[in-house]
Structure 1
Amino acid sequence: MGTEVRVPTLGESVSEATVATWFKKPGDRVAADEMLCELETDKVTVEVHAPVAGRLVEIVAPEGTTVAVSALLAQIGAAEAGDEPAPEKTHAGAEAKAGAGESKMIDVMVPALGESVSEATVSTWFKKPGDTVAQDEMLCELETDKVSVEVPAPAAGVLAEILVTEGTTVAAGSKLALISSDGQGVAAAPKAETPKKTEAAPAQEPAPKKDVEDAPSARKAMAEAGLSPDAVQGTGRDGRIMKDDEARAVSGASQAAAPAPAP
């Protein structure tokens, strides 16, 4: 049975994109996570990677086609026995061995963030290690100076390890997490990355924010709540206000406004 390649989530308020370039053609062999095509939206350029290794059987949406989120782009079939190029035989053998008794780990990578955008901040993780995830299910949200970018699961499985904690700044193409295709190896996943949150945590002294642009989702939420940015303590890079900061400020204001219980 073939594996479907679908349009990933494209960011906040973006519902469709145009297929700009295919880097593979039907019949080509592809490796897991190898870039297949590039999509263009009004805001960002999004790379689409192969969810599994195999052979590109069919391109459903050719270049120039406008596609919606989750639309079918292509089909990947299993590679035919004996047709692997010599340099790839060792890799193919390793995959077969992994399928026989070892857990196959799939990388979750930072997607392309758009033109002239090279880094983002991990805003929110919606899953934790040990959780079962479906292919294309949203794992986390990244914030840049321009847009919020949702990161979907490249394959179904179990979230084995989160490599980058919330509040950490990451570059395009960085590894965010690992998904175990069969759920093995989750308990043994190291948690040495936990101290990174301390490294990424802002200094206690509030950083001047006059030259720092707050996250788009946070600005929208503050406007809807009628909250001034001066009343929110930002935990992002250089004191940048993230969506969670706005939520904490609103919660604190609600508790402060609650009437004291009668004696």
Structure 2
Amino acid sequence: MSTEVRVPTLGESVTEATVATWFKKPGDSVAVDEMLCELETDKVTVEVPSPIAGTLSEIVAAEGETVGVDALLAQISEGGADSAAASAPKANSDAAPAEKPADTPATGGTGTVNAGPEDTKPRDPEDAPSAQKLMAEKGIDRDAVTATGKDGRVMKEDVLKALAQPKAAAPVAAPRAASSADQADREERVKMTRLRQTIAKRLKDSQNTAAMLTTYNEVDMTAVMDLRNEYKDLFLKKHGVKLGFMSFFTKACIHALHEVPEVNAEIDGTDVVYKNYVNMGIAAGTPTGLVVPVLKDADQMSFAGIEKAIAEMGGKARDGKLSMADMQGGTFTISNGGVYGSLMSSPILNPPQSGILGMHKIQDRPMAINGQVVIRPMMYLALSYDHRIVDGKGAVTFLVRVKEALEDPRRLLMDL
């Protein structure tokens, strides 16, 4: 008896994934819940476990193929290695046509690759007829439309969104200069992962869509550092987690968002959607790229709750265990480039959010305090915001409130 292994549900709005790695090959014995393969989506890596104990008799979707939700990945035969030995040669021969050279792109969401000579290049997806008609009527080039349909199909709503966007001069990509023979031998070409492709697309879309502007300030970290040093041991003993700087910044941002709610809002067509809650995104770097896990209802959390949630999300991010649900629904984001030594930067918005705070390196600098030059631990802060919804006054007020709360944390207790 054979059991099918299919692509699991990948998360809200995610319809396809790429088969990244097979941990087993046809003929291998597998145990219940043993990992068979990894699927790479736009945001996370999904592990596919074995539903039964038996033998992997056939791999249907090879590494590098794009597969849709519920697509067939493999077949598992119940029984031991003896029954697998007979089926292994057939499985290998069946799976062979699915294999393709590393530089041949997958055809799309069907999870299959045709090996005919005419299919050495991927076929262009057929756009929705209504989209084709609208593009023809409006004279819109297909390359100017961001496709959201299955397999890269352009849908009518994609064309409408393109029409609603302000016209901009199309950037001209400079052609890559040919490498000399000796240089080509020292180059390595690696296909971008789906995560890196998505990061690149979302960041560029954010620049193209939002009227992004950044305002800066600096904060004296003396009060926060003194408070942290005074209570860190007691905090760790009582709550079982270290007291870091992120909980102070999260609380300060929540405090400022309550006063300047447009920074916690988003644009939906011609509407502004104000959020009466704070889902705080905390940007985290991982070996595979930048991810932004979200602390849901962070405005209802204590310092200890925030630190525990950040520690848990950070661990999941490092281990590649974040789910789609962990990274959805954010209303505001904090990015800490200071951990890498950044002294100043302009963070890019995480759409559809309207604000992101950039933290930076704490550095001792001479400051004029009450007519005296003293050395203080200073940090530059940067708030990037969508000027379509947030005015300069609101952005500056937000950053000043964050600065005030950090320089005098007692203000957070009294909501000042």
TM-score normalised by L of structure 1: 0.39
Structure whose alpha-carbon radius of gyration is higher = 2
The structure with the greater share of residues assigned to strand is 1
